Amino acid sequence: MSKKVLVLPGDGIGPEIVAEAVKVLDVVNARFGLGLAMEEGLLGGAAYDVHGKPLPEVTMEQARAADAILLGAVGGPKWDTLPDRELRPEKGLLGLRGGLELFANLRPAILYPQLAAASTLKPEVVSGLDILIVRELTGGIYFGQPRGIRTLENGERQGYNTDVYSESEIRRIAKVAFEAAQKRGKKLCSVDKANVLEVTVLWREIVNEVAKDYPDVEVSHMYVDNAAMQLVRAPKQFDVMVTGNLFGDILSDAAAMLTGSIGMLPSASLDKNNKGMYEPCHGSAPDIAGKGIANPLATILSAAMMLRYSLNAAAAADAIEAAVSNVLDQGLRTGDIWSEGMTRVNTQEMGAAVLAALQEV
Ligand code: NAD
Ligand code: IPM
Ligand code: MN
């Protein structure tokens, strides 16, 4: 039976990196007889330019019909000044996450040993790093109401957002995190700001409640400011981290740098049935878009996650991950992960090297 994959290249470097990931998917599709049927769609600025909105109905329909979605990135200066905030590319992405209830965002920060020199941290601090950040993705301050910019009586404008989490939202993301921890190092650190924010007082309470069902997992709690510091001081103390939408956004970018570059960090955004959207954690990188130099590996590794989590094709995922490791063994590096003595390659050369390595593994 064929499985539908919706490919949303998006904006900026999105189309450049997604093209390489699609070539990789084509190869494993044929080799492993996966029966994937891929179709393209529009999201973000690319959709706004054609349909006048960042998440057209047609894309939403394609997304609902798909078994999995592969996304590049959205956004860019071209659309930053749109007067109606609802039309911004990022709103399209948030609409897709919310509309499909992709509440569980898994962001694995793994340092490939070959990249120890690419990290800005000392090799001994990051070598062997393997962290999983579980970020709640459809709630919190990103979606909370009321929100907006209002004019006060004195004529001054005031911006406001609301950070909200209901017990059921906290419980379901906590379960995902505990279950992930059970399959890994059996340690879970929940990150909050319970010394200040009531929303995270409840968060901590519910995490402790869920913890009772997972007695084999060691649970700890950390304030987000300390967690940011600990991530760069001694990141290997962490196994799985679970946190809300905004903290997870910020901490995962910090964790990305531990792996050498944000160009290495894939992600999975799952609903309760493991239907998912897969995307690199980085953005559309307007500063390098169109130059053909972006690192496609986070997107290629996101495709591997898609095969593993949503398409029941673990062997194909393993092959892709092994091919990526093989390419790094060869010393091939895009600019963001380049270090002395390595061979600098561009986006297409990196993609081609992964394809060639796939023939070997
Ligand atoms: P960004 O992640 O796009 O870029 C930050 C820095 O990392 C830049 O210097 C960029 O060149 C570099 N970088 C990112 N990905 C890279 C890659 N694959 N290879 C090499 N270098 C890479 O973050 P930003 O500049 O803050 O945001 C740019 C735009 O992207 C904004 O419109 C933002 O809203 C959007 N954005 C989208 C997503 C997404 O679609 N999931 C995520 C983050 C940001
Ligand atoms: C991410 C991005 C998005 C987020 C933006 C583009 C809406 O930064 O996927 O990490 O904040 O979630
Ligand atoms: Mn982000």
The verdict on residue 67 lying in a domain is yes
The verdict on residue 116 lying in a domain is no
Same domain, 171 and 246: yes
Going 310 to 316 to 318 to 324, the CA torsion angle's sign is negative
The verdict on residue 89 lying in a domain is yes
Same domain, 57 and 83: yes
Looking at residue 360, what is its pLDDT?
86
Distance CA 146, CA 150 (A): 11
Kindly state if the Cβ of 75 falls inside 6 Å of ligand 1. yes
The verdict on residue 74 lying in a domain is yes
The verdict on residue 220 lying in a domain is yes
ipTM above 0.90, yes or no: yes
The verdict on residue 117 lying in a domain is no
Residue 291 assigned as binding residue: yes
| Number of domains within the chain | 2
Looking at residue 308, what is its pLDDT?
97
Same domain, 142 and 239: yes
Last residue of a domain, one of 218, 236, 258: 258
The verdict on residue 125 lying in a domain is no
Looking at residue 361, what is its pLDDT?
81
Last residue of a domain, one of 224, 258, 292: 258
345: DSSP letter: -
Q: Kindly provide the residue ranges of all beta strands, DSSP E only, lying in 206-267, ordered along the sequence.
A: 218-223, 240-243
Please state whether 44 falls in left (phi above 0), alpha (psi between -120 and 50) or beta: left
**174: domain range?**
130-258
Kindly state if the Cβ of 90 falls inside 6 Å of ligand 2. yes
Give the number of the atom of ligand 2 that is nearest the alpha carbon of residue 252.
10
* 12 alpha carbon – ligand 1 mean position (Å): 9
Residue 275 assigned as binding residue: no
Same domain, 99 and 134: no
Distance CA 71, CA 10 (A): 7
The verdict on residue 197 lying in a domain is yes
CATH number of the domain that residue 282 is part of = 3.40.718.10
Last residue of a domain, one of 258, 291, 306: 258
Say if pTM beats, i.e. exceeds, 0.90.
Answer: yes
Collapse the DSSP code of 38 into the 3-class scheme (helix H, G, I; strand E, B; otherwise coil) and give the result: strand
Taking only the tens of pLDDT, the chain with its 361 residues reads: 799 999 999 999 999 999 999 999 999 999 999 999 999 999 999 999 999 999 999 999 999 999 999 999 999 999 999 999 999 999 999 999 999 999 999 999 999 999 998 889 999 999 999 999 999 999 999 999 999 999 999 999 999 999 999 999 999 999 999 999 999 999 999 999 999 999 999 999 999 999 999 999 999 999 999 999 999 999 999 999 999 999 999 999 999 999 999 999 999 999 999 999 999 999 999 999 999 999 999 999 999 999 999 999 999 999 999 999 999 999 999 999 999 999 999 999 999 999 999 998 8
- Give burial (CB, 10 Å; 0-12/13-18/19+) of 211: middle
CA angle 313–103–258, rounded 5-degree value:
75
